[in-house]
Amino acid sequence: MMFAILREVNLALIMKLIIVTLNQSQQSMANNQRTEFSANKKLTEGLQYLLNGYDSRIRPNYTGSPVEVQVDISVASFGNIKEVDMEFGLDMFFRQHWQDTRLSHNLTSKMTLTMGTKHPADFFWVPDTIFVDATKSYMHNVLTTNHKLDISANGEVDWGTRATLVARCHMNFRTFPMDEQKCSLNIVSYAYPTQHLIFAWKSIPGVVVLDKEMAQFYMKEMTTAVQRVEYVAGEYSLLQATFTFKRRMGFYLIQIYIPCIAIVFVAWMSLFVDSKATPARVGLCVTTLLTIATIWGAVNSTMPRVSYVKAIDIYLMTSFFFVLCTLLQYIGLIHKGRAKRGISRLKTPFLKKEAQGSSTCNLTSQYSSYRGGLYSLEEGQIEHPCDELNQEHKEIDSNDVEVVARIAFVVAFLSFNFFYWIALVYFV
């Protein structure tokens, strides 16, 4: 009985306590809301006060000294460098900083604003910056427009935005694929010459590159400069950031050079094919010739049609020449009638020496000693008449030509490679 009463009293007490605390928290929430609301209202009123009578078309301090716009850029990543179009891409966070005393306010901290679906230029004066070499550019607006505006109490404005550009870049491919490309980004004001607006980098160097890697290139170097340029409309302030991109050779080594070496090797192997096997030999030569031509075509299909010779062209051209030489050598051989059908298959320098060593035509014993050994001879071939043996001497001469060709080919190709790579690695 007693316990039951006590429990009820306890319960009632707890309920009361809960209700009181709930009430209190509700009250404090309402108070918070009210103070936040009034603060917001104050801010909105403050902004309206600032923008009341503000003309966003007129630059700050119009009658006074030129407005100085300080720029800093963080390059998030580089887009693909397109050789055919001579363009490079850039995805960046672009910030500009200037002072507009018309926007100075009474808040203790700086005012940070976003723009929703609008542009800052709808409300404030902003520099009319342009990227001189850009062919395509866009601002990002997913999910809302990417703008951030900080306004300090003394009217200093910091406007950050995100932009993606594709810009022109004059490229030189003489040392392709070991080339370096210098591409620059030039920033000027569209309307204001230097008596109205001057640009400066906010910090040194002013550009920070967050990701230097690309599929085929990496950024090797970056320099910035401030210049004055003379246009028809007057003297303009110009900011310049120059990026040096170095090409990675790996792709061309794997896709072009190594297959090319393999093809030249196959062409060289054709010199070992029996000179009587005309279809095999011509087929091999012509196939390798066509393959090199195909590779060459594939390389140049991704390049602009420049009218000078690129380093890779020299390599492919020389390889083509080497392969062509195997074909010409064979045609020369046929032409001289040294690869006549029906001539003995015996053709080693070793045998030639043996043949020369004997003054008589009676070589039957020497031939038969090879029977079942290195050279399997047919019965009919053992008893050669003298005139047939003389033909063999001729055949042996043509083999000499082949041996010389094989060695000359290899030596010439290796030394070409040696000089080519030395030149490419050390003098480029």
Ligand X SMILES: *[C@@H]1O[C@H](CO)[C@@H](O)[C@H](O)[C@H]1NC(C)=O
Is 106 among the residues that bind ligand X (CB under 6 A)?
yes
Give the x-and-dash track for 358-397 against ligand X (CB under 6 A): ----------------------------------------
Burial letters 10-31, b for 16+ CB under 10 A, else e: eeeeeeeeeeeeeeeeeeeeee
Give the type of residue at 262.
Answer: A
Q: In this chain, which of 3, 52, 53, 64 binds ligand X, going by CB under 6 A?
A: 64
Cα 58 to Cα 52: distance, rounded to the nearest angstrom: 14
Q: Choose between 49 and 272: whose C-beta lies nearer to ligand X.
A: 49
CB of 65 to ligand X, least distance (A): 4
Q: Choose between 105 and 248: whose C-beta lies nearer to ligand X.
A: 105
CB atoms within 10 A of CB 60: 18
Choices 97-105, 203-211, 240-248, 383-391; region in contact with ligand X by CB under 6 A: 97-105
Structure tokens at 151: 């306004």
Is 61 among the residues that bind ligand X (CB under 6 A)?
yes
Beta bridge partners of 180: 246
Judged by CB under 6 A, the number of residues near ligand X is 9
Sheet with 129-131: list strands edge to edge.
129-131, 180-189, 234-247, 217-231
Q: Choose between 48 and 359: whose C-beta lies nearer to ligand X.
A: 48
Burial letters 98-117, b for 16+ CB under 10 A, else e: bbbebbebeeeebbebebee
DSSP 3-state assignment of 122?
helix
CB of 153 to ligand X, least distance (A): 9
Cα 168 to Cα 88: distance, rounded to the nearest angstrom: 7
Is 279 among the residues that bind ligand X (CB under 6 A)?
no
Tokens 């093809």: give the residue. 263
Chain residue at closest Cβ approach to ligand X: 64
CB of 19 to ligand X, least distance (A): 43
DSSP 3-state assignment of 52?
coil
Q: Choose between 59 and 281: whose C-beta lies nearer to ligand X.
A: 59
> Scanning residues 17 to 56, which ones bind ligand X (CB under 6 A)?
46, 49
331 Cβ contact partners less than 8 Å away, ≥ 6 residues apart: none
CB of 97 to ligand X, least distance (A): 13
Is 65 among the residues that bind ligand X (CB under 6 A)?
yes
Q: In this chain, which of 70, 96, 99, 319 binds ligand X, going by CB under 6 A?
A: 99
Q: Choose between 64 and 372: whose C-beta lies nearer to ligand X.
A: 64
Q: For 54, what's the count of Cα atoms within 13 Å in the CB-facing half-sphere?
A: 21
Q: What burial class does residue 307 get, using C-beta atoms within 10 Å of its C-beta: 0-12 exposed, 13-18 middle, 19+ buried?
A: exposed
Q: Choose between 67 and 134: whose C-beta lies nearer to ligand X.
A: 67
Q: Choose between 62 and 265: whose C-beta lies nearer to ligand X.
A: 62
> Scanning residues 183 to 242, which ones bind ligand X (CB under 6 A)?
none
Q: Choose between 108 and 359: whose C-beta lies nearer to ligand X.
A: 108
Is 116 among the residues that bind ligand X (CB under 6 A)?
no
Choices 32-40, 69-77, 98-106, 286-294; region in contact with ligand X by CB under 6 A: 98-106
CB of 100 to ligand X, least distance (A): 8
Structure tokens at 418: 């040696």
CB of 50 to ligand X, least distance (A): 6
Q: Choose between 50 and 292: whose C-beta lies nearer to ligand X.
A: 50
CB atoms within 10 A of CB 303: 16
Distances (CA, A) of 132 to 69, 147, 154, 160: 17, 22, 32, 20
Where along the sequence are the contacts to ligand X (CB under 6 A)?
46, 49, 61, 64-65, 99, 101, 105-106
